[in-house]
Homo-oligomer: A and B are copies of this chain.
Amino acid sequence: MKGREFKDAMYDGLAKMLKAISNPSRLEIIEMLSQCEKSVEGIVQTTNLTFANASQHLQVLKNNNIVKSRKDRQYVYYSLVNDDFLSVYQHIIRFASHEIAELERIMSRQRKDNNAQHAVSLVELEQMVNADNVLLLDVRPSAEYEFGHITGAISIPMNELLTNLKNIASDKEVIAYCRGPFCVLADEAVKLLKEKGYKVRRLDEGYPEWKIKQTMSN
């Protein structure tokens, strides 16, 4: 193989993989699957996609070795192939949300609308949790919490938050987290809890970022 052929083959392959993730719907699917595996139905419910369309996007991701599937009874469950991809994805997200001016602007407006500025970083969180005057709140759907969550967090899914305020000690500072920087659940939680008089902030990142950080440090 000549040098030019090698280069072409490598760049073609790399571009093919990148194309597979260069689509808004597929990026949203990736974010969902970085929480836990989901059936096609689970994906359809939170994305507005039709069944056929979601299935097609999943095939694209599968053909490019980004997700894998297993069948259990009538259902097909999809999940990310491994954490290596998740780690790359997070690098991309972090770059995009800090360095692309347009995205930075949209994001800060979203935080402001929900009164959720001054987010806490994972590093800060670590110190705060040790200090023990903090309540770490996971507002993702409970299935995602059960699949994995930040050590020490309690689970109150966003749609049950209003009816479960009694379970939130009002003397502690609440740190809410969700799926990641692009997820709005924690923003909504901050807004609601602030209105109810709580001292509350959101985590800048989400569960997947915490998980990758854990596996990195081992």
Contacts and interface: CB of A to CB of B under 8 A. Distances in A.
Interface of A: 1, 3-4, 6-15, 17-19, 21-25, 27-28, 48, 65, 82, 84-85, 87-88, 91-93, 95-103, 106-107, 109-110, 113, 182, 184, 187-188
A154 B35 CA distance: 48
A182 B7 contact: yes
Q: Is the interface of A mostly helix, strand, loop or mixed?
A: helix
A38 B199 CA distance: 53
A15 B10 contact: no
A114 to B, nearest CB: 9
Contacts of A102: 13
26 contacts: A1-B106, A3-B187, A3-B188, A6-B106, A7-B28, A7-B184, A8-B24, A10-B97, A10-B103, A10-B106, A10-B107, A11-B24, A11-B25, A11-B27, A13-B106, A14-B24, A14-B92, A14-B96, A15-B23, A17-B96, A18-B21, A65-B99, A84-B98, A87-B95, A88-B91, A88-B92
Nearest to A187: B3
Contacts of A109: 1
Nearest to A12: B24
A104 B108 CA distance: 40
Nearest to A20: B22
A187 B7 CA distance: 12
Contacts of A188: 3
With most chain B CB atoms within 10 A of its CB, the pick from A14, A48, A109 is A14
